[in-house]
Amino acid sequence: MSPANSIPPPPGVYVPAVVYFDDNEDLDIPALKAHVLRLAKGGITGILIQGSNGEAQHLSHEEKKEAIRVTRQTLDENGFQQVVVVAGTGALSTRETKKLCADAAEAGAGFCLVLTPSVWPGLMTPENILRFHREVADASPIPTMVYNFPVVTAGINLTSDIIGALAQHPNIVGTKLSCGDVGKLHRLTSSVPATKFATFPGVSDVFLQGLVSGSAGLIGALPNIAPKAHMEVYRLYKAGKITEAAKIQALLGHADWELTSLGSIGGIKAAVFKHWGYGNVNVRGPLGSVELTASTTSKLEELIAYEKSL
């Protein structure tokens, strides 16, 4: 049974962390631990395991549980008990999604982030979408969040009406909008109380714009590379220093675009390996590794230099 009247995750910056593989494509646990620890030391609020950047669709159920368990354990053993762990639990059936939510709770996650099934996009009517998320939330032992990412759900793009209706469920406590639609975000933040429902943009290029529109912060890929820079934008915004925050936000927007153009997952691993020296560039097929070149990473390099100055 799901918790009654669940509360949303705390506001702040969340990172859909990449996972690491060795040359045999097995989980590289030392590299994952090193990455989790650097993110935590960078001040982030929470870590999302099995987000799209975590190659969720490429992991077995047991690998997913192990990645969550290692993340929670690494945080706890290093004095970062306050850092939240969110687990991506989307699957192509309601039954499997429920199982992944139960697994996530058992492995130590505090929240689940749930993608809408998309193998039959034409059959995913508003009624089926609403029923799916409600049934998953009913069954989940930890609070769930709605993950809207049209790029990975065959173009299914949830409206603010659908997400707003789901927000009324006692165990659905937030959303990640990787559509980057600030208008949609603002409609949600202005109609659902933040104490009940946390609305996060899913891309760094609208981080500050989302905050101005009432968002809870960010759940984005780019903090894998620059957690401190994102926390600085958040700090400046909270201090009312919008002009200063906007200058850093411009850099985040350019760097986020470069990272997306490179191929986010491989690009993150390549940049982290190059500049922080842990992990590797291995991804699971059919994805390919990324080679960084000066002509394609000028803004990323500028952001990394700024990150290291903080």
Residue with tokens 């354990």: 73
Does residue 246 lie in a domain region? Answer: no
Active site (annotated) includes residue 234 = no
Active site (annotated) includes residue 176 = yes
Q: Structurally, how many domains does the chain consist of?
A: 1
Beta-carbon contacts of residue 41 (< 8 Å; ≥ 6 apart)? none
From the candidates 64, 176, 269, 299, give the one annotated as an active-site residue.
Answer: 176
Q: By three-state DSSP, how is residue 153 classified? A: coil
Does residue 204 lie in a domain region? Answer: yes
Q: Which two tokens stand for residue 235?
A: 């700090």
- Mind listing the pLDDT tens digit of every residue in the chain (310 residues)? 566 679 999 999 999 999 999 999 999 999 999 999 999 999 999 999 998 889 998 999 999 999 999 999 999 999 999 999 999 999 999 999 999 999 999 999 999 999 999 999 999 999 999 999 999 999 999 999 999 999 999 999 999 999 999 999 999 999 999 999 999 999 999 999 999 999 999 999 999 999 999 999 999 999 999 999 999 999 999 999 999 999 999 999 999 999 999 888 999 999 999 999 999 999 999 999 998 888 789 999 999 999 999 9
Does residue 88 lie in a domain region? Answer: yes
- Indicate which CATH number applies to the domain containing 51: 3.20.20.70
Per the annotation, where are the binding residues for pyruvate?
Answer: 219
Q: Return the H-helix or E-strand segment holding 111.
A: strand 111-115
* Cut 0.75: pTM above it: yes
Does residue 304 lie in a domain region? Answer: no
- Is 251 in contact with 229 (CB distance < 8 Å)? yes
**Residue 51 belongs to what domain range?**
12-228
Does residue 234 lie in a domain region? Answer: no
Does residue 251 lie in a domain region? Answer: no
From the candidates 14, 20, 147, 234, give the one annotated as an active-site residue.
Answer: 147
